[in-house]
Every structure is written in C-alpha cells, then in structure tokens.
Chains A and B, each alone.
Chain A
C-alpha cells in the first residue's frame, strides 16, 4: 500500500497541480489586467468571468456525477462511486460559489442581494439538489449501498436539470439570448472557463484519491477489529 505506485502518483499530481495553478493565475491576471472595463457596470462586471466559470463547472460536475453513477450501476466497481462522490462535493462547492458571485453581481447591478432571476433561481435549485444528495450519502454507512443510492439520485438530478432551467427561464419570461461581448472579453471568458474547469477537475481527482485512501483505511480498521483475514479492495483493483 505504501510502495512505488503511490510515489509515482504524487509526482504526477504535483505536476498537474502546478499546471492548473498557472492556468488559474493566468486567468486571474487576464480578468484584472487585460479584460476591458465594461461601459455600464465598470469593474464590478469582472465578477461575471468567475460567475460564468463556476456556474458552468457546477453543471458539468452534475453531468459527471450522473455519468459516474450510471457506470457504477452497470459495473459495480466502487471506484466509480468515488468519482461520483468527488464530483458531487466539488459540484456543491461550484454551486455555492455561483450563488455568492451571482448575489454579489446582483447587488451591484440591481441594488439587491437576491432576485428571482432565472439563472440565480436555477442555481439555488441546483445547490439544494447537491446538498440533498450529499446529506443522503453521508447518512449511509455501507459503501455499496451508498454508491447505489447516490447513483440513482445523480441520474435523477441530471435528468431534472434541463427541466429546471427551462421552467425558471419561462417563469421569468426570459428567453436565452447570447449577450453581446467585446472579442477581448470573450477571450478572457474562454480562458477563465477553461482554467476553472481544469481547477475543479483537478480538485475532483484529488478528492477521489482521498476517498479511495479513506476507504482503504476504513477497511483496514474493520478487518483489524474482525481479527481475521477479510476480502478487501486491493490496490490493483482500485487503479
């Protein structure tokens, strides 16, 4: 368990982390120093680059969670559930940041911290979905039962998201129109989306590894208390 595969993993992880850090740093520099100042809202408009990036990541994490859940149901290998759980935790983080940045922008744009504007409303619904799924997962001890329940919830969540988006947009009579953006702003937005996607993907990978190690530790503890050999997930089965 503490042999070479773990050392190789940590070199790759550190290297990937460095790349992601550079991307995020580049994105932040571009947001604050390269993106032009918006004519009506001024510097406050720069929140949008972060807001759109984390909102996109929140949705992508939901889809990832659903796909990993489906794979778990089909293959019944616990590592798919680790991916699903990692995606749900990072997705919840993204949904939280979406609400915070969205509220900050709303306060500057409309003088109110909250409005039932469709994007904010659907972000709130997504946040509650994530919170519910995480709460249910945390109440189940058995890893395979947790995987099965989590997978079903993830698949339902993914199926529901488009309906939530449609309903909230029609509710407020807003039809999706791509906003006009300066080409430089568009470039900064693209870089921002790519770099934050890389960041959250990296967090998912790290969290998945952490979950896998926690599970191995929990199994070892269990087998020690059973005081006899027990079948457990071997490292080769997990990698």
Chain B
C-alpha cells in the first residue's frame, strides 16, 4: 500500500509546476522578509513550510497565493508566464492567519458568499455539504462572531476550499483545532492527496509536517535553509482514508 502511494505520487511529479516562485524578495518597512527565495511546488505534492517566528513562512505563503506582491522576482501559476489570471484565481484557495470571515454573517452565509464569488455552480448545496463534512452543521445559522476560535478556524478552512481549488494554501491550519477538528483536517489532507490536489501549508509542528507532507521546506531569516523530502508517508495509507 505504501509503495502504491509512493508510485502514485512520483508519477505526478513529471508535470509542470503548479506554482513557481523565482527569486522572490519581499521587503517591508526596509526589513527583508524574504530574500531571493526559489521554490517550485509540483502537482499533487504536499509541501510544509517550517521555521522560527519571523522566518517569512506566512509571507511566502501569501505570495504563492497572490495575496502579497513581491518587491523583486516572479511568481508563475500553472505554468502561466503572464501572471495570475482570473481563471488561475479560481484554482487557488488560501486560509491565512485571519479567518477572512464576516462576523455579522452566519456560517452558511459566509460559505455561500465565498462560493458565489468563486463561481461555484450550486453554492447553497456546496456550502451545506462543507458544513456537514466539517462537523459544523448544528452551527449553520449561527453568526460567525458567536463561534469559538477553533470553530472559526474550521470554517475558514472550509471557505478556502469551497471552490475545490487545485492549489490549497493553509497557514497553521492545525492551530486552535480540537481533536475532532484535527481528525477532520487530516482526513481532508488524505482526500486532497487522493484527488491529486497540491497543498502547501505552514506549520510549527514537525510531527504533523512529517506525517502529511512530501517535502519539508525550512526557512530562516527569509531564506530557504533546508529542503527535506519525507519519503513515503508511514502514518497514513490510502486504504485507511
């Protein structure tokens, strides 16, 4: 089973990158946050970004999503040299540090709004389906402002993937999640792997990262200092997913 998983992943790596960051430099308030970072993420790959606080992980993630503009360097999405098109935006989902949720709207309304913005065909059905999968169905009509941090985190992740993006970017997704939330997220990671989705996430937990990712990319002071392939995943098998 493990060998099948490895071969499955290897065959995907032959295609062009989903996202290429070439010489990315970001300077904020004259402080370099990223320094000439080069990173390619291949289709179907799961990459974990690790490093100490202030290493530039979140900034790199935001650049990969197109949410932050680098001061130097280029980012290419889906092999498109001309930059990020509207079609590319539909294939990218980001759950950042902040929830991106409207506190005055209910959980369902937030998901429906995001689904509509991404052009999802049946936004109501999709939103309900996601809420059920995330274990948030009892909170469908609760205002987001009334939810706990952990529940908001689940909802934020659901919002990021409401349109079934090909490139999924998550910033510390396991933070604030309880055991049920963690199980749900780990299951999502398995589903994404089976579906061939590309995932890049920021994590402080080495164990989580090794268990989920194909590659660990370590940053420090704005530079990539180490890239460690994790090999096949001993923690999960496709059979158990």
| A residues with CB within 8 A of B | 141-144, 218-219, 222, 226, 228, 230-231
Is there contact, CB below 8 Å, between A144 and B71?
Answer: yes
Give the chain B neighbours of A230 by CB distance below 8 A: 27, 32, 35
Is there contact, CB below 8 Å, between A142 and B29?
Answer: yes
- Count of chain A to chain B residue pairs whose CB atoms are closer than 8 Å in the complex: 24
Given A142-B28, A142-B29, A226-B31, the answer on whether A231 and B72 have CB atoms closer than 8 Å is yes
Give the chain B neighbours of A143 by CB distance below 8 A: 30
User: From B71, which residue of chain A is reached at the shortest CB distance?
Assistant: A144
Give the chain B neighbours of A142 by CB distance below 8 A: 28-30
User: From B223, which residue of chain A is reached at the shortest CB distance?
Assistant: A228
Give the chain B neighbours of A228 by CB distance below 8 A: 221
Complex Cα spacing A56 to B42, Å: 59
Is there contact, CB below 8 Å, between B31 and A231?
Answer: no
Is there contact, CB below 8 Å, between B72 and A222?
Answer: no
Give the chain A neighbours of B124 by CB distance below 8 A: none
Is there contact, CB below 8 Å, between A141 and B36?
Answer: no
Give the chain A neighbours of B31 by CB distance below 8 A: 222, 226
B25 at the binding interface (Cβ < 8 Å) = yes
Complex Cα spacing A141 to B31, Å: 11
Give the chain B neighbours of A144 by CB distance below 8 A: 27, 71
- Mind listing 10 A-B residue pairs with CB under 8 Å? A141-B29, A142-B28, A142-B29, A143-B30, A218-B30, A230-B32, A230-B35, A231-B25, A231-B32, A231-B35
Q: How far is the CB of B30 from chain A (nearest CB, A)?
A: 4
Is there contact, CB below 8 Å, between A222 and B30?
Answer: yes
> In the complex, which residues 1-39 of chain B have their Cβ closer than 8 Å to any Cβ of chain A?
25, 27-32, 35-36
Give the chain B neighbours of A222 by CB distance below 8 A: 30-31
> In the complex, which residues 25-62 of chain B have their Cβ closer than 8 Å to any Cβ of chain A?
25, 27-32, 35-36
Give the chain B neighbours of A141 by CB distance below 8 A: 29
Given A142-B30, A230-B27, A231-B35, 15 more A-B residue pairs with CB atoms under 8 Å apart are: A141-B29, A142-B28, A142-B29, A143-B30, A144-B27, A144-B71, A218-B30, A219-B30, A226-B31, A226-B221, A228-B221, A230-B32, A230-B35, A231-B32, A231-B72
User: From A219, which residue of chain B is reached at the shortest CB distance?
Assistant: B30
Q: How far is the CB of B186 from chain A (nearest CB, A)?
A: 37
Give the chain A neighbours of B221 by CB distance below 8 A: 226, 228
Give the chain B neighbours of A219 by CB distance below 8 A: 30
> In the complex, which residues 152-180 of chain B have their Cβ closer than 8 Å to any Cβ of chain A?
none
Complex Cα spacing A143 to B221, Å: 21
Name the residue among B31, B35, B71 with the largest chain A CB count within 10 angstroms: B31
